[in-house]
Amino acid sequence: MDSRITDKLTILADAAKYDVSCSSSGGKRKNENKGLGNAEGMGICHSYTEDGRCVSLLKILLTNYCIYDCAYCVTRRSNDVKRAAFTVQEVVDLTINFYRRNYIEGLFLSSGIFKNSDYTMERLVRVAKKLRQEHKFNGYIHLKTIPGASEELIKEAGLYADRLSVNIELPTERSLQQLAPEKNYAEILLPMDTIKQQVVQAMEEKKLFKSAPVFAPAGQSTQLIVGASAENDHQILQLSNQLYQDYNLKRVYYSGYVPVSSDSRMPIITAPPIIRENRIYQADWLMRFYGFSVQELVDEQQPNLEPDIDPKLAWALRNRFIFPVELNTADYELILRVPGIGVKSAQKIVSARRFAQLNFDHLRQMGVVLKRAKYFITCQTKSMLRQEFDSLQIRNKILFGDGAKPSALLRQQLDLFRQAG
Ligand code: SF4
């Protein structure tokens, strides 16, 4: 590869790594007309699809020049970093070359704002259009929308991209004003609304006309930075919940703030809040797939998730009166709330118990994590426990097993979490 392109790639792939909103799950673009690639069933860059396959996307910025100066961003205009910019044709060529060599299965393309929003967005759209139309590329394409880009360009982007994402980054308008004063919430939410309307419209038209064009068939996503501003987990999860409801988002991604440059407006931390990010992901998962409301997980009195136990266990320990749950008779929704039982195990339990009364061996075979679930269940009215435990005892037994102490890494993360809180 030309050394000039290699240099650009080094800079622009490195700058893109802070954006985590690049899952491709849900794409179903078929290979037609002997084209190149097929997006069906793909997943996140260097990560795993729901069916367990590891796939990769070329994840780059078109440019890391930016006219904005968001305090949390490595690409901001006042940051002293090496800058580079690809041309449209260079990104197209890279994608095709990497695809042909089997390095990637798709493209995740974002950008700093070069000159102005429309100028940048128009170039992102041209990359996707060229790939689809000139190269008949059917691999996965995820385009980031540029804040302030015109509605026409967003609509055009959705004709070529599988997924579009609009990054909110900061959970409140107040934080946005402090840390990214050139952005505003209205400018961010408007394209989200446009994408939602276009997706619905395209689906309606598809029902009437088979040949109607698709629009961002893998939907839209966003990213929130955790720990860059003062919002608590309650505020973050409330916002996510609202975004899922109002804009039909496929995913909200959470990115623990990485201190990339010194700025007096940013918190002083030595490592990203990994545990907090992880707990918020778990809570998000519980809201989407386990029927939990935000208020059940965090509220005004207890606005942050507990760092040392997952939110489902924390909820169960706060609501001991609901347990034990008799797995041979309980509703599916209640079984889902038992720590150690996931969606698949709960489904297996409900379907298997129609044929036989379940015992603990059955549960083990179904994948139930009994060392966790045993404190919260009975089977045929029997418990696995020889004695009763209170919430604190259960918590300690699950956390530390037979007197084991937390690892050094966990202790370090918990300390950082507590200092930040
Ligand atoms: S607009 Fe985007 S790329 Fe530019 S500084 Fe802000 S977050 Fe970074």
Give the Cα separation of 65 and 43 in Å (integer): 28
What was the pLDDT predicted at 55? 58
Whether 223 is covered by a domain: the verdict is yes
Q: How does strand 47-48 pair with strand 54-55?
A: antiparallel
| One domain for residues 70 and 126 | yes
Taking the centre of ligand 1 as the mean of its atom positions, its distance from the CA of residue 111, in whole angstroms, is 8
CB 165 less than 6 A from any atom of ligand 1? no
Whether 311 is covered by a domain: the verdict is no
- Considering only CA atoms, which residue is closest to atom 3 of ligand 1? 112
| One domain for residues 264 and 344 | no
Distance of CA 66 to the CA centre of its chain: 25
Taking the centre of ligand 1 as the mean of its atom positions, its distance from the CA of residue 224, in whole angstroms, is 13
**What pLDDT tens digit does each residue of the chain (421 aa) get?**
788 999 999 999 888 887 766 544 444 555 555 666 554 433 335 533 333 445 588 999 999 999 999 999 999 999 999 999 999 999 999 999 999 988 898 999 999 999 999 999 999 999 999 999 999 999 999 999 998 999 999 999 999 999 999 999 999 999 999 999 999 888 899 999 999 999 999 999 999 998 899 999 999 999 999 999 999 999 999 999 999 999 999 999 999 998 877 788 888 887 889 999 999 999 999 999 999 999 999 999 999 999 999 999 999 999 999 999 999 999 999 999 999 999 999 999 999 999 999 999 999 999 999 999 999 999 999 999 999 999 999 999 999 985 555 555 555 555 655 554 4
CB 394 less than 6 A from any atom of ligand 1? no
| One domain for residues 115 and 198 | yes
| One domain for residues 272 and 353 | no
Which tokens sit at 218? 């893998």
Domain that holds residue 376: 319-405
| One domain for residues 221 and 326 | no
| One domain for residues 205 and 253 | yes
With contact defined as beta carbons under 8 Å apart, do 162 and 39 qualify? yes
Which tokens sit at 314? 């924390």
Ligand 1 atom nearest residue 67's Cα: 4
| One domain for residues 323 and 275 | no
With contact defined as beta carbons under 8 Å apart, do 349 and 330 qualify? no
CB 113 less than 6 A from any atom of ligand 1? yes
Whether 313 is covered by a domain: the verdict is no
Whether 335 is covered by a domain: the verdict is yes
Whether 305 is covered by a domain: the verdict is no
Residue whose CB lies within 8 A of the most ligand 1 atoms, among 76, 168, 169, for a mutation test:
76
| One domain for residues 293 and 350 | no
What was the pLDDT predicted at 235? 97
CB 66 less than 6 A from any atom of ligand 1? yes
Which tokens sit at 132? 């689809």
Residue whose CB lies within 8 A of the most ligand 1 atoms, among 70, 117, 167, 260, for a mutation test:
70
The CATH number linked to 53 is 3.20.20.70
CB 179 less than 6 A from any atom of ligand 1? no
Give the Cα separation of 145 and 77 in Å (integer): 19
What was the pLDDT predicted at 262? 77
Residue found by looking up tokens 């041979």 in the block? 328
| One domain for residues 236 and 374 | no
CB 64 less than 6 A from any atom of ligand 1? no
Whether 285 is covered by a domain: the verdict is yes
Ligand 1 atom nearest residue 66's Cα: 4
CB 68 less than 6 A from any atom of ligand 1? yes
Angle at 216 between CA 215 and CA 217, to 5 degrees: 90
What was the pLDDT predicted at 274? 93
CB 65 less than 6 A from any atom of ligand 1? no
Whether 308 is covered by a domain: the verdict is no
- Considering only CA atoms, which residue is closest to atom 2 of ligand 1? 112
Which tokens sit at 316? 């169960």
CB 75 less than 6 A from any atom of ligand 1? yes
Taking the centre of ligand 1 as the mean of its atom positions, its distance from the CA of residue 146, in whole angstroms, is 9
Q: For the chain, how many structural domains are there in total?
A: 2
What was the pLDDT predicted at 155? 97
- Considering only CA atoms, which residue is closest to atom 6 of ligand 1? 70
CB 16 less than 6 A from any atom of ligand 1? no
Whether 354 is covered by a domain: the verdict is yes
DSSP H or E stretch at residue 382: none
Taking the centre of ligand 1 as the mean of its atom positions, its distance from the CA of residue 103, in whole angstroms, is 28
Ligand 1 atom nearest residue 75's Cα: 8
| One domain for residues 123 and 165 | yes
| One domain for residues 139 and 220 | yes
Taking the centre of ligand 1 as the mean of its atom positions, its distance from the CA of residue 70, in whole angstroms, is 6
In sequence order, what DSSP letters do the residues of 188-210 get, joined into one string?
A: HHHHHHHHHHHHHHHHHHHHH-T
* Alpha-carbon separation of residue 387 from 327, 338, 374, 384 (angstroms): 20, 19, 12, 9
CB 164 less than 6 A from any atom of ligand 1? no
| One domain for residues 337 and 230 | no
